[in-house]
Amino acid sequence: MTSQSPAVEVDGLLRRYGDRVAVDGVSFTIGRGETFALLGPNGAGKSTTIEILEGYRSRSGGTVRVLGSDPATAGTAWRERLGIVLQSETEPGTARTRELLAHFAAYYPRPRDVDETLEAVGLAAARDLRVRTLSGGQRRRLDVALGIIGRPELLFLDEPTTGFDPEARRQFWALIRELHDEGTTILLTTHYLDEAAELSDRAAVIAGGRLVDLAPIDEIGPADARIPIVRWTDADGAHEVRTTEPATLVARLVAAAGGEPRGVEIRRPSLEDVYLRLIGQEADA
């Protein structure tokens, strides 16, 4: 993180479709070099927000600055500083994998090395295959390669690992960490909450078009939702207790039982647990 102005500044963002409000007064900033997750259920307003930031959709109100410019009026030079990986896959065509990536690389003033990029996304072995013959997972990796080939200052990743197997997801995570270490600002949307927890510095949760929480990834949600749970079984049956001092509780249980109780377990709530509680609270409001 640097002392530069934020990479993204959103203040009171509003988007209406007739009488329906899709984005309702959302505000957040993303610092330079930060990986920021935008989370929420389908229809929450995430995609609309992202498309406004990318300059593909107009807004009804509020202010937005992306890399110092208003996306609604920014030009070609501004777009060259962005990398975008959309939810939809690359259209199949007659071009070969490396050929297509090299073609896109030529649009940028200082692109990444084509072969190194293919290696980074796990497509080195598919470099000479025609795009239309790639599997869904391979085509998704090609989307990522196309998004990063221009060495973007800001990278939008919209559900980037859809269709990836577990090994491919881990390889992708390693690539994102490399980009983060290089200083790339990353805006990530994903339904894989473990992915958001693994990669992000901070997260915002949107539900019903409104921002319901914004915090460092380890501080999302109400404090009581992050309290660890201790479970064990004894002669009186199964027990479950939330406590901020789980080790102390387990030590007391061991002392009382003269040994470790059966099935003792300390479980710290995951981001998914906290997220589901947030979304549930919003739905009940």
| Band (2; pLDDT cuts 50, 70, 90) | very low
Residue found under tokens 């090395």: 113
Q: Collect all residues with Cβ–Cβ distance below 8 Å to 142 and sequence separation of at least 6.
A: 90, 97, 100, 101, 121, 123, 131, 134
Please tell me the distance from the alpha carbon of residue 265 to that of residue 233, in angstroms, as a whole number: 10
Q: What's the pLDDT tens digit per position in 131-190?
A: 999 988 888 889 989 999 999 999 999 888 877 788 888 888 988 999 999 999 999 999
Q: Is the pLDDT of residue 282 over 80?
A: no
| Band (91; pLDDT cuts 50, 70, 90) | low
* Over residues 208-236, mean pLDDT: 90
- Confidence at residue 257, expressed as pLDDT on a 0 to 100 scale: 79
DSSP characters for the chain? --SSPPSEEEEEEEEEETTEEEEEEEEEEE-TT-EEEEE--TTSSHHHHHHHHHTSS--SEEEEEETTB-TTT--HHHHTTEEEE-SSPPPP-SSBHHHHHHHHHTTSSSPPPHHHHHHHTT-GGGTTSBGGGS-HHHHHHHHHHHHHTT--SEEEEESTTTT--HHHHHHHHHHHHHHHHTT-EEEEE-S-HHHHHHH-SEEEEEETTEEEEEEEGGG-S-GGGGS-EEEEEETTEEEEEE-S-HHHHHHHHHHHHTSPPEEEEEEPPPHHHHHHHHHHHHHH-
188 vs 279, residue with greater confidence = 188
257 vs 29, residue with greater confidence = 29
Q: Is the pLDDT of residue 283 over 60?
A: no
Q: What's the pLDDT tens digit per position in 234-265?
A: 888 899 999 989 999 989 888 887 777 888 89
Q: Is the pLDDT of residue 13 over 70?
A: yes
Please tell me the distance from the alpha carbon of residue 280 to that of residue 196, in angstroms, as a whole number: 19
